[in-house]
Chain A
Amino acid sequence: MGMQSNLGRVRGMGSAKDGVHHWWMQRLTAVALVPLLLWLVISIIAHAGAGHEAVSAWMGQPVPAILMILLIIAGFYHAQLGVQVVIEDYVHNEGVKFAILIGLKLLTVLLGVASVFAISKLAFGA
């Protein structure tokens, strides 16, 4: 039972105040990435050596565009959670750790949004 109060136990949030959210999102994105990555590998093989026209036409179709956006979101989310844990394990200076984590979070959002923008541009043929 430990030293937690009853309220603390039912909330189940622990000292980091977000409970199992990090752990759960890492697993959820992992499950999503299994079929999405197999699709990506098959797609890359199918488009090996393809030129700009063929790739644009492929990304111009709804299903590949949607799957690619899902892959980008799940992939960058998963990468951000994973790299965060590695940094927390190996970077021991609090200030440096904090700065790297902020940079990591902002960078992954930037790269994710840039990728989704590129896919959307191809999908809508602008």
Chain B
Amino acid sequence: MTSPMTQPMTQPLLSVEHLTMRFGGLVAIDDVSFAATDKEITAIIGPNGAGKTTVFNCLTGFYKPSVGRLALTWDGREFLLEQMEGFVIAKTAKVARTFQNIRLFPKMTVLENLIVAQHNKLMRASGYSVRGLFGFGYQGKEAEAVEIARYWLEQINLVDRADDAAENLSYGDQRQLEIVRAMCIEPKLLCLDEPAAGLNPRETADLNKLLLFLRNEHKIGVLLIEHDMNVVMQISDHIVVLDYGRKISDGEPEAVRNDPAVIRAYLGEDEDEELPDIVKQDLAGDGADDGPETQA
């Protein structure tokens, strides 16, 4: 645990302080603090059951943390996420997320998925649908929403599939669609829960490209849970390692890779081998089971 805390000069986009989440007697997250800045990809890694998804669920309002402060700051405004309801976090604090098991709207088309994500904007434009019912000045806004959707579909090369039901896309395309759908709410912080799970190497490379594009072009902060070390090590700017609900390491990829505490967490006491290969072996054995899935 020698790596220094990455302290950004200004107020970080997200600052998690003393986050603790208890389920009855079980302490899923124990006093975790870390920060994520915009224009950076922050990865949260850790063995199965380390509490990574629970952190996400606390951040996006699906759980109310037992203790802790989750502050999101952008444009000089501060949002205390632990006090907000789930949909308000997405609506006003602009935190978007994806899910470990893809949650698209399967029967709706690809385009509709992206339009639904612009719900709040369109609701205002259509006078909460009352004005829209009689067709005043709503079509222009809807056309704009379609253009935004088209822009995102171009980024993931799915323009041709826009009118197909989302359930008919391939698995990799569904993953990418879920990410751009989250982008349609114009988030400041994007939380991705294992976006590379189940992807083949080529799809993983595409994903890396997309995530770097989001960071570089859209200047958002990305928070990433991932087991695939190819993704984590290649694109993250900053890594937080959790084990048994505690933070055991925090820093730049190179530092984390060589942190003895991390190696111990992944390998037990044996410290002979290099981390990434072993992590891969470790992961090959286990499925995607990772803490409690989102429950409403």
Task: Decide whether A and B assemble into one complex.
Answer: no
Contacts from B to A (Cβ < 8 Å): none
Q: Which residues of A contact B (CB under 8 A)?
A: none
